[in-house]
């Protein structure tokens, strides 16, 4: 049915009535829309588009007029409201009435009369305190006005639109009423309901819609007339049919590789495509002429003008043998005539030979794609290019690279000095440049010309060329004597950057031709991409290794809790994200961290640096190991989501970490790990165990799961070994075997951490590790009990004085009389805060470290204190400020049963006495203007 409908709309086809037409008509729908209203026709689409545009313009115009009318009405309502308010406010007797004993009795009748005369919704007078004197609803008199009238109290007129009790949304104007002294004695508010404004606008709508409808009818009628004329001109064709018709026509004319001729019933040429014009050598004005007027042979004319079907009959046309096919057009709906197709059989023979050569070249290029670039080594890639080219494409091949490329650097494009990286030939006694020879090409050499032009240079006959001899005439003579006759020099380029030159030489094979340039350039292009990838890999590996080294700790911090030694060994072939850290914490505690980021390269190294920085920041908050890993997991998951959403690759896809905190006072070590191997513990007697530390999923994959911890009690002299999986596991050794080797390497008593690190590396690390290896060994110390003092503090301010005395005695025994006064002041402030704002139990502890005195006050409350600057009139609020002034640093850490506020004082003697320092600190609390 669709094919029949298209046939009836074909232009230029006569429609004769007959039984067939009646049969077709019987299958059609009983009725269909006229073409001008059919959305599938061009005319219908144009009509709908015009009507839609006009309708949109009409709607926009009506909306604009309605908005303008509404705006004008609102402006008029504001003006009326302002006039009513000003009139009532300045009416004689208004001020006196507002000052009278009963303003409502005088003003209410006047307000109602003014409201009715002015045809407004309300006239409200109220006191400066907001108590209504008048209102249309008497029940609201004496009640407070809701809303802001600060502008009116300031003597300004205030206009706004808001909801008013009993009226609804209204345009309101508020005017102050002042006495002779300029004092505001009352306020007058006049409002007009927005509904009145809307009714004014609605009265104008009929005229607006009538005008819009009339305009729409006129424009629609004009559009229908234009669309009807367009329908007649396009014969009712649908857009897709017209587009397909012209696309097919252009394809037949210009793209078909067979000749096509269309003849009418009078043997006149109606159409000849480009291929037919070429094969028959037709004149430019051949269209419209009879076939006998085109200068063809009688045999060709007879065959093309035949009214019978012809299949693959061969006709001689000039020097070509053409295979001709002819078909009449009448059986297929044509008005008479024929269609002929032509194929050149002489070219098929030539194509067969070319196809063989092309097949060999394609096979060569395919093999090059498979065999070139199998490694990320620049020199090896150059050797692979020569191996694939000899002897299938050339008898000899050489590859010379820029020195910067060999070293993995970016070429600067200024130097022509080349280093021969690969040479290969069918014979080894050739006179070509040898490997590792360096040469700088002269400007007239084919190699320099190719680099300058960016394309291959052909020297078909070297004996007739003089330019290539300028570099080394003696070597050129020996090459000619050796039998080398032809050269193709191709620049190796990638991303528009010259990397080197590939030279292909022939001696026994036929000389190179222009057709060989494309093959040479394709070989060089594939090799150049592989060489550039190897160069970029070398550079990236160097950069990643440099970045990795810069992000790792340069030196271990000083602390008194642990003796620490470490080893870090990057992988030979790739850079990973293994890292470690030693972070001192308040209270002489120390955090040990070992982690591993999934992946390799710059991204892994940069991510490792980010995670290490984040761990340092979290340690500044003094978080517990499980809380720190939970926060780190959320951060890694967020980084993954952000980088995946921004298209920066696959994200981190997880990282592992082990975090341990050692307290030398109690000897306890709290450990948590997320996807990371557990620690190895070496006792003072050399016994090696692997403590059972609960393992959580890797960072970024925990999905909010809780992180569990393990608490170990370590004797003094115990050694704790933390490591990454590259130490104990590789392709030749499973995890269990690696752990056994690790235990054997550590099972020696009385060894230093440095000796342990060396023993472990000697036993476990291969010559070329495939993954980064990080090892951290720490030997524990315990704080001397004589350097620790602690007291239980009653929740009574009277206990502070005895506590200060006890602390002073302990400081005297430690020889710290110089900071005794300052310490007493600090602990008094901290203990007082704990008694006032904290909860029981309260405990005070003093720790004497190497160069500092640490004061800790623990209580059962989790409320976090914060430092602030007290005002000049405040009697308190300076406690933490004084603590911060006298202490080197201070902070808060939370425990399972409360918090600990700590501060650290330097044992170095400060200039001036403590009283002088306290006075200066207090004076800093006030500025000069306050004094």
* pLDDT tens by residue, 78-98: 787 888 888 888 888 888 888
Sheet strands (E) in 241-364: 259-263, 269-272, 310-317, 320-328, 338-344
According to the per-residue pLDDT averaged within each range, which of 302-316, 638-652, 874-888 is highest?
302-316
- To the nearest whole percent, how much of the chain has pLDDT over 70? 80
Region of poorest pLDDT, from 288-302, 333-347, 694-708, 820-834? 333-347
Q: What pLDDT does 838 receive?
A: 82
Whether residue 842 is predicted with pLDDT greater than 50 in this model: the reply is: yes
Q: What pLDDT does 39 receive?
A: 55
Q: What pLDDT does 629 receive?
A: 92
Q: How confident is the model at residue 248 (pLDDT cuts 50, 70, 90)?
A: low
Q: How confident is the model at residue 15 (pLDDT cuts 50, 70, 90)?
A: very low
Q: How confident is the model at residue 585 (pLDDT cuts 50, 70, 90)?
A: very high
According to the per-residue pLDDT averaged within each range, which of 277-281, 341-345, 437-441, 669-673 is highest?
669-673
Pick 87 or 546 by higher pLDDT: 87
77-96 b/e (C-beta count within 10 Å ≥ 16 → b): bbebbbebbebbbeeeebbe
Whether residue 690 is predicted with pLDDT greater than 90 in this model: the reply is: yes
Once rounded to an integer, what is the mean pLDDT over residues 372-384? Answer: 86
Once rounded to an integer, what is the mean pLDDT over residues 677-688? Answer: 94
Once rounded to an integer, what is the mean pLDDT over residues 335-358? Answer: 73
* Sheet with strand 562-569: strands edge to edge: 562-569, 773-780, 719-723, 680-682, 688-689
Whether residue 30 is predicted with pLDDT greater than 50 in this model: the reply is: no
Cα–Cα distance measured from residue 928 to residue 931, given in angstroms and rounded to the nearest whole number: 5
Q: Residue 443 CA to chain centroid, in angstroms?
A: 46
Pick 175 or 229 by higher pLDDT: 175
Whether residue 621 is predicted with pLDDT greater than 70 in this model: the reply is: yes
Q: Which two tokens stand for residue 875?
A: 């009697």
* N-to-C CA span, the chain: 103
Cα–Cα distance measured from residue 257 to residue 246, given in angstroms and rounded to the nearest whole number: 18
553-578 b/e (C-beta count within 10 Å ≥ 16 → b): eeebeebbbbbbbbbbbbbeebbbbb
Q: Which two tokens stand for residue 799?
A: 């206990």
Pick 504 or 37 by higher pLDDT: 504
Q: What pLDDT does 294 receive?
A: 82
- The closest alpha carbon to 632, from 657, 652, 653, belongs to 657
Q: How confident is the model at residue 450 (pLDDT cuts 50, 70, 90)?
A: confident
Cα–Cα distance measured from residue 159 to residue 131, given in angstroms and rounded to the nearest whole number: 19
Sheet strands (E) in 677-787: 680-682, 688-689, 695-696, 709-713, 719-723, 773-780
Q: How confident is the model at residue 230 (pLDDT cuts 50, 70, 90)?
A: low
Three-state SS string over 220-260 comes to HHHHHHHHHHHHHHHCCCCHHHHHHHHHHHHHHHHHCCCEE
Whether residue 798 is predicted with pLDDT greater than 90 in this model: the reply is: no
Region of poorest pLDDT, from 10-14, 300-304, 550-554? 10-14
Cα–Cα distance measured from residue 166 to residue 17, given in angstroms and rounded to the nearest whole number: 80
DSSP state of 694: -
Cα–Cα distance measured from residue 818 to residue 420, given in angstroms and rounded to the nearest whole number: 76
Sheet strands (E) in 396-537: 396-402, 417-425, 438-440, 457-459, 486-494, 497-506
Q: What pLDDT does 31 receive?
A: 42
Whether residue 742 is predicted with pLDDT greater than 90 in this model: the reply is: yes
Q: Residue 273 CA to chain centroid, in angstroms?
A: 52
Cα–Cα distance measured from residue 257 to residue 799, given in angstroms and rounded to the nearest whole number: 108
Once rounded to an integer, what is the mean pLDDT over residues 416-440? Answer: 86
Q: What pLDDT does 14 receive?
A: 36
Cis peptide bond upstream of 813, omega within 30: no
pLDDT tens profile 480-498: 888 898 999 999 988 888 8
Region of poorest pLDDT, from 363-377, 645-659, 725-739, 879-893? 645-659
Region of poorest pLDDT, from 37-41, 233-237, 845-849, 863-867? 37-41
Q: CA–CA distance from 34 to each of 648, 829, 875 (Å)?
A: 56, 96, 94
Once rounded to an integer, what is the mean pLDDT over residues 488-515? Answer: 89
pLDDT tens profile 159-176: 887 776 666 677 888 889
Q: What pLDDT does 195 receive?
A: 65
Region of residue 318 (left: phi > 0; alpha: psi -120 to 50; beta: else): left
According to the per-residue pLDDT averaged within each range, which of 145-149, 179-183, 224-228, 746-750 is highest?
746-750
Q: Which two tokens stand for residue 367?
A: 């093999």
Q: Which residue has the tokens 């059609």?
A: 28
Kindly tell me the burial class for residue 802, based on how many C-beta atoms sit within 10 Å of its own C-beta (0-12, 13-18, 19 or more): exposed
Helices (H) and strands (E) in the chain, counts: 26, 31
Report the 10 Å Cβ neighbour count for 334.
Answer: 16
123-143 b/e (C-beta count within 10 Å ≥ 16 → b): bbbbbbeeebbbbbeeebbee
Distant-in-sequence, close-in-space partners of 635: CB < 8 Å, separation ≥ 6: 611, 614
Q: Which residue has the tokens 């090892």?
A: 775
Rounded (10°) angle between helices 602-620 and 625-645: 140
Whether residue 728 is predicted with pLDDT greater than 60 in this model: the reply is: yes
Cα–Cα distance measured from residue 501 to residue 230, given in angstroms and rounded to the nearest whole number: 64
Q: CA–CA distance from 925 to each of 353, 364, 595, 871, 887 (Å)?
A: 99, 85, 46, 8, 17
């Amino acid at each position: 049915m669709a094919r029949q409908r298209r046939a009836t709309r074909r232009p230029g086809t006569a429609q004769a009535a007959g039984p067939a037409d009646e049969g077709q008509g019987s299958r059609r729908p009983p009725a269909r829309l006229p073409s001008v209203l059919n959305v599938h026709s061009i005319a219908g689409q144009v009509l709908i588009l015009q009507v839609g545009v006009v309708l949109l313009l009409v709607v926009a115009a009506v909306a604009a007029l309605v908005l303008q009318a509404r705006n004008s009405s609102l402006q008029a309502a504001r003006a009326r409201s302002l006039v009513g308010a000003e009139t009532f406010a300045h009416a004689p007797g208004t001020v006196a009435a507002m000052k009278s004993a009963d303003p409502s009795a005088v003003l209410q009748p006047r307000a109602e009369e003014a409201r009715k005369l002015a045809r407004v919704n309300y006239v409200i007078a109220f006191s400066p305190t907001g108590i209504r004197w008048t209102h249309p609803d008497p029940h609201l008199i004496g009640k407070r006005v809701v809303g802001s009238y600060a502008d009116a109290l300031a003597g300004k007129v205030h206009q706004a639109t808001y909801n008013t009790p009993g009226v609804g949304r209204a345009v309101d104007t508020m005017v102050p009423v002042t006495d002779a002294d300029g004092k505001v004695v009352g306020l007058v508010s006049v409002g007009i309901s927005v509904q009145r404004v809307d009714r004014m606008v609605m009265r104008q709508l009929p005229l607006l819609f009538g005008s819009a409808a009339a305009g729409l009818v006129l424009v629609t009628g004009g559009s229908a007339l234009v669309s009807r004329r367009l329908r007649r001109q396009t014969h009712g064709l649908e857009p897709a049919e017209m587009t397909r018709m012209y696309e097919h026509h252009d394809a037949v004319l210009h793209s078909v590789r067979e000749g096509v001729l269309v003849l009418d019933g009078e043997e006149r040429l109606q159409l000849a495509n480009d291929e037919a014009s070429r094969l028959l050598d037709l004149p430019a004005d051949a269209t419209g002429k009879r076939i006998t007027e085109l200068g063809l042979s009688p045999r060709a004319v007879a065959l093309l003008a035949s009214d019978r079907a012809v299949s693959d009959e061969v006709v001689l046309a000039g020097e070509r043998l053409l295979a001709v096919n002819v078909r009449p057009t009448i059986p297929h709906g044509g008005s008479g005539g024929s269609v002929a197709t032509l194929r050149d059989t002489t070219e098929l023979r030539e194509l067969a030979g070319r196809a063989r050569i092309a097949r060999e070249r394609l096979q060569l290029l395919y093999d090059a794609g498979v065999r070139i670039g199998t490694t990320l080594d620049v020199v090896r890639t150059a050797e692979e290019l020569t191996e694939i080219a000899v002897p299938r494409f050339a008898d000899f091949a050489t590859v010379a690279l820029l020195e910067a490329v060999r070293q993995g650097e970016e070429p600067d494009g200024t130097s022509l000095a080349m280093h021969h990286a690969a040479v290969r030939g069918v014979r080894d006694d050739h006179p070509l440049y040898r490997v590792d020879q360096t040469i700088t090409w002269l400007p007239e050499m084919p190699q320099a010309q190719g680099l300058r032009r960016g394309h291959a240079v052909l020297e078909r006959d070297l004996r007739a060329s003089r330019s290539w001899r300028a570099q080394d005439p003696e070597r050129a003579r020996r090459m000619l004597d050796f039998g080398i006759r032809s050269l193709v020099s191709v620049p190796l380029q990638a991303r528009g950057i010259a990397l080197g030159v590939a030279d292909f030489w022939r001696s026994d094979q036929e000389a190179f031709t222009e057709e060989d340039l494309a093959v040479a350039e394709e070989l060089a292009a594939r090799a150049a991409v592989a060489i550039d990838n190897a160069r970029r890999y070398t550079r990236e590996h160097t950069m990643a290794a440099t970045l990795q080294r810069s992000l790792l700790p340069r030196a271990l911090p000083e602390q008194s809790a642990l003796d620490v030694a470490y080893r870090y060994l990057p992988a030979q072939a790739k850079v990973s994200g293994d890292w470690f850290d030693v972070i001192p914490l308040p209270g002489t505690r120390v955090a040990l961290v070992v982690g591993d980021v999934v992946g390799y390269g710059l991204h892994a190294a940069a991510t490792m640096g980010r995670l290490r920085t984040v761990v340092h920041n979290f340690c500044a908050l003094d978080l517990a190991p499980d809380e720190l890993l939970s926060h780190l997991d959320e951060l890694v998951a967020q980084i993954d989501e952000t980088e995946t959403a921004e298209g920066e690759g696959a994200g981190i896809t997880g990282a592992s970490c082990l975090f341990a905190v050692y307290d030398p006072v109690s000897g306890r070590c709290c450990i948590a790990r997320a996807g990371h191997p557990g620690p190895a513990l070496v006792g003072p007697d050399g016994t090696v165990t692997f403590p059972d530390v609960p393992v959580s999923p890797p960072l970024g994959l925990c999905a909010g799961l809780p992180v569990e911890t393990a608490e170990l009690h370590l004797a003094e002299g115990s050694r704790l070994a933390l490591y990454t999986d590259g130490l104990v596991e590789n392709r030749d050794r499973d995890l269990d075997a690696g752990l056994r080797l690790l235990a054997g390497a550590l099972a020696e008593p009385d060894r230093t951490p440095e000796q342990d690190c060396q023993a472990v590396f000697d036993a476990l690390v291969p010559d070329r590790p495939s993954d980064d290896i990080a090892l951290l060994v720490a030997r524990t110390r315990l704080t001397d009990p004589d350097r620790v003092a602690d007291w239980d503090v009653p929740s009574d301010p009277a206990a502070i004085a005895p506590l200060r005395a006890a602390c002073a005695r302990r400081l005297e025994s430690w020889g710290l009389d110089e900071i005794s006064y300052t310490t007493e002041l600090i602990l008094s402030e901290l203990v007082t805060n704990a008694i006032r704002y904290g909860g029981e139990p309260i405990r005070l502890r003093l720790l004497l470290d190497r160069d500092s005195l640490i004061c800790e006050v623990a209580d059962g409350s989790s409320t976090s204190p914060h430092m602030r600057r007290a005002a000049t009139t405040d009697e308190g609020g300076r406690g933490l400020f004084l603590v911060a002034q006298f202490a080197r640093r201070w902070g808060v850490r939370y425990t399972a049963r409360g918090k600990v506020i700590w501060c650290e004082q330097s044992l170095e003697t400060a200039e001036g006495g403590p009283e002088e320092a306290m006075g200066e600190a207090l004076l800093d609390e006030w500025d000069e203007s306050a004094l």
